[in-house]
Amino acid sequence: MTGFENDNFLRACWRKETEYTPVWFMRQAGRYLESYQKVRAKHDVLTICKTPELSAKITTDAVSELGVDAGILFADIMLPLEGIGVKLKLVDGVGPVIERPIENQKQIERLSGFSPQEHVPYVLDAVRLIKHQLREKVPLIGFSGAPFTLASYLIEGSPSREFTRTKKMMYDQPELWNQVLTKLSRIVTSYLLAQVKAGVDAVMLFDSWSGCLSPADYRDFVLPYNQEILADLSGRNLPRILFGVGTAGILKEMREAGSDAFGVDWRLPIDNAWAVLGEAAIQGNLDPATLLASDKLIEQRAEDILGRVGGKPGHIFNLGHGVLPETKPEKARRLVQFVQQSTRNRR
């Protein structure tokens, strides 16, 4: 953790004392920022992701504009799959749309041979460039989609509410499901290890849609793969964060994944979530829509979260999901300042 001007984020991940509660936001480098809009007006998302200079600019602009305590790589969770030939489009307001959703063994066999250096070299170049531009001011978070979330896109063909096709494969074709998740686990592990080698200071596993599962289904069909990935990333003095949306009912099972920190959403009070997660750091958990409210309400909701944590080491303030496109940047900036200043005074 040495060498950073500001290492509060990393210290919080390890549940150590910090100067104040560190803050960063999922999708902090996104559509609500004018600097992003200017880049996006000239390039589509895939082009931005595949152009290290653009990815680096968007990543570092967000850090400087918001004053957050960590940067997160600007990329898309589908990049490794797109890199090995999965035909997809990133549709504004929708998300990834797969040209030919997975239905059979032959399609699954094509999920092989992933090499980060060969298939996503631009991501690794972006990491190195961002690290150079940040100049050790704050840490950089790398990330990947988790196997279940990636599989849900591949099987459903687009974002889903019910995940019917995904669950049908889990239940009716468990051997096929195991093959899909095993192949995706290897891709994710290789991808994250390459990001670590390129210089990221923490990694985050986005299992965004795992909250659609029952505790039993998560334990039987998802947990072993997340455990394997996180185990392969252990012992590197590098924090690992596991995140999902709507996971209040499966936190006990998620805890068994072996992550250093867990991101939780707003559907469960943060102190209740932490009590379930036990000896780990926690990240969250303001409803992103709160940033559309008045400054007074934003501060009240933030204060409630901070009060529930009570200054306990190991809290990283974040939203429960990504910043909404409708958010005014000044609201996000004020929230960062409020959390940092109000908790500094309590140390």
pLDDT digits (tens, 9 = 90+) for 89-103: 888 888 899 999 998
Mean pLDDT of 166-177: 97
Tell me the pLDDT of the chain averaged across its residues: 96
CB 150 within 8 A of CB 88: no
Distance CA 270, CA 12 (A): 15
Q: How far is CA 248 from CA 178, 205, 265, 301, in A?
A: 25, 17, 8, 19
- For the annotated catalytic residues, the residue numbers are 27, 31, 40, 76, 153
* Amino acid, res. 15: R
Correct CATH for 8-344 of 3.40.50.300, 3.20.20.210, 3.40.640.10, 3.40.190.10: 3.20.20.210
pLDDT of residue 2: 57
pLDDT digits (tens, 9 = 90+) for 31-71: 999 999 999 999 999 999 999 999 999 999 999 999 999 99
pLDDT digits (tens, 9 = 90+) for 290-336: 999 999 999 999 999 999 999 999 999 999 999 999 999 999 999 99
pLDDT band at 347 (very low <50, low <70, confident <90, very high): low
Mean pLDDT of 251-266: 98
Task: Evaluate if residue 123 carries a pLDDT over 80.
Answer: yes
Tokens representing residue 275 in the block: 């009590």
pLDDT digits (tens, 9 = 90+) for 3-28: 899 999 999 999 999 999 999 999 99
CA contacts within 13 A on the Cβ side of 163: 20
Q: Where are the domains of the chain?
A: 8-344
